[in-house]
Structure 1
Amino acid sequence: MTITIESVITCPTCGHQAAEIMPTDACTYFYVCASCQTLLKPLAGDCCVFCSYGSAKCPPIQEQKTCCA
């Protein structure tokens, strides 16, 4: 299985998109939009901002492992 470590985060407030490299050993719980400065947090049921707003889920979820344990 190939794990994607780059994800494009799309801000739900302004639509700004930014390509980011995801950590493989930690969750990214907060993310500030570079355009409108909105503080993004994971949606209910998601472990991190990449799982909520990214084009790819975080690496642990891609590997079907527990994230942020």
Structure 2
Amino acid sequence: MTVTLESVITCPNCGHQATEIMPTDACTYFYECTSCHTLLKPLAGDCCVFCSYGSAKCPPIQEQKSCCA
């Protein structure tokens, strides 16, 4: 299985999109939008901002593993 490490985060507040490289060894709990400076946090049930607002889920979830255990 090929894991995608790039994800496009879309800010729910202003719609700004930014391409980011996801870490493989840590969760990203907070992300500040570079346009409106809204602090994004994971939605209920998601482990990180990439799973909530990204075009690709985080690497552990893509590999069907527990994220950030």
The verdict on a shared fold, with TM-score over 0.5 as the criterion, is yes
Query: 5 Å matches for 1:1-69?
Result: 1-69=1-69
> Can you give the 5+ residue segments of structure 1 that lack an aligned partner in the other structure?
none
| Counterpart Cα distance in 1 of 2:25 and 2:44 | 21
TM-score (norm 1): 0.99
Displacement of 1:35: 0.2
| Counterpart Cα distance in 2 of 1:24 and 1:50 | 12
| Counterpart Cα distance in 2 of 1:18 and 1:43 | 18
Alpha-carbon RMSD across the aligned residues, in angstroms, is 0.2
| Aligned residue pairs, count | 69
- Runs of 4 or more, structure 1, over 4 Å off, are none
> Can you give the 5+ residue segments of structure 2 that lack an aligned partner in the other structure?
none
TM-score (norm 2): 0.99
